[in-house]
Amino acid sequence: MHNPFIEVVDESTDSELIEQATNGSREALEKLILRHQAWIYNIAVRMVFHTQDAEEVTQEVLVKAITRLSTFKGESQFRTWLYRITANHVLNMKRRRGEAGAQTFSSYAEAINDTPDLELPDPKSMPVDVPLLVEEAKISCTTGMLLCLDRKQRLIFTLGEIFGASDTVGSEILEMSADNFRQSLSRARRDLYGFMHGQCGLVNPKNPCRCGKKTRGFIEAGHVDPNHLQFVPEHRRRIAEAAEGVTRAIESTVDEHFAAIFREQPFLEPRDQVSWLRQLLDNGVFGKSLHLN
C-alpha cells in the first residue's frame, strides 16, 4: 500500500492522476482519492474515536480536497497539500461524541477503575468469539486514551508516533518547525506514557487493570457493543504493516514498548468507500469545478 508519510515519497502516480483528474478524468480522480482515503480515515479515527464519526470527518476532508484540487499547482508536495487540509480540518472541526465533556487522564483513570473486574462473558451468549471482544476492549481503551490529549497533541502523536512520520514530514504538514514538532511529540509521549505506566497492565505488570477483566464491564457500560465491533472486524493489517518505510526512530526501549501498543492497532478501511465516492462525484458541483467526464 502507498504510504504517504515516508521521508522521501514517490509522487509520480499522484501527479499523473492529478493531471488527468483536472483534465476531466473521473476515473483518475477516484484512483487519487482512494490512494489516500484510508490514511485520512485512520487519522480521523484517532481524533474522534467512533468509526461512524470518523467516516463523516473523512468525507468532509475529501469534499474540501476535491473542491480545491484545481488550485493545486505543484508548488509543494501533494502529500503536504492534502494532509494540511486534513490537519486543519481535524484541528478546527466541530466536537464529536468522543470529545463530549472534557476528558483528562485523571477522569479516564477514574472511569476505568470504576468499571468492575468481572469474569469474561459466557461465549454462548455472545454473537462473536470472546477473544474478539477482549481485543475490541483493548483497542477501545487505548484509542480512548488519545482523547485525553488535546487535539494538536493527538494529531502530532498520531502522525509522529503511530504512523512514524519524521519531524520534517510532520512539521511540513502542521506548518511548524521541526523542533516544535519534536518537542510537542515528546510532551504527548510523556503525558500518555506516564498515564499508561501508572494505570495499564499492558505496559506495567504491577498495574491491576487487565483487558480481559474489564471486557464484560465495558460491554455492560455500553463502551463495547458485541453486535457492532468498531475495530476488530474491519482491519486487514496492523498500522506497523501499513506504515512500512517510516523513518522515525523510537527514543528509548521503554518508549518502544509503549509505541508498539499503538502501532499494532488495526489499520482500518472505511466502509463502502468506493460507492460513497462515486455518489459524491455524481454531484454536479464537482463535475463543474473539475470538468469531469
Full set of structural domains in the chain with CATH: 12-290 (1.20.140.160)
pLDDT in the model for residue 162? 95
Task: Give pTM, 2 decimals.
Answer: 0.92
Question: How many residues in the chain?
Answer: 293
Confidence of residue 287 (pLDDT cuts 50, 70, 90): low
DSSP tag of 94: P
pLDDT in the model for residue 180? 98
Tell me if 228 sits within 8 A of 127, measured CB to CB: no
**Alpha-carbon gap, residue 103 to 122, rounded angstroms:** 32
Tell me if 57 sits within 8 A of 47, measured CB to CB: yes
Q: Is the pLDDT of residue 292 over 90?
A: no
The values of phi and psi at residue 121, to 5°, are -60, 155
Sign of the torsion formed by the C-alpha atoms of 210, 49, 259 and 111 = negative
The tally of CA atoms less than 13 A away on the side-chain side of residue 163 is 27
Mean pLDDT of 131-156: 96
**Alpha-carbon gap, residue 152 to 149, rounded angstroms:** 8
* Choice among 46-55, 102-111, 126-135, 218-227 with the minimum mean pLDDT: 102-111
- Burial of 147-185, coded b for 16+ CB within 10 Å and e otherwise, reads bbbebebbbbbbbbbbbbbbbebbbbbbebeeeebbebb
Tell me if 166 sits within 8 A of 176, measured CB to CB: no
Q: Is the pLDDT of residue 235 over 90?
A: no
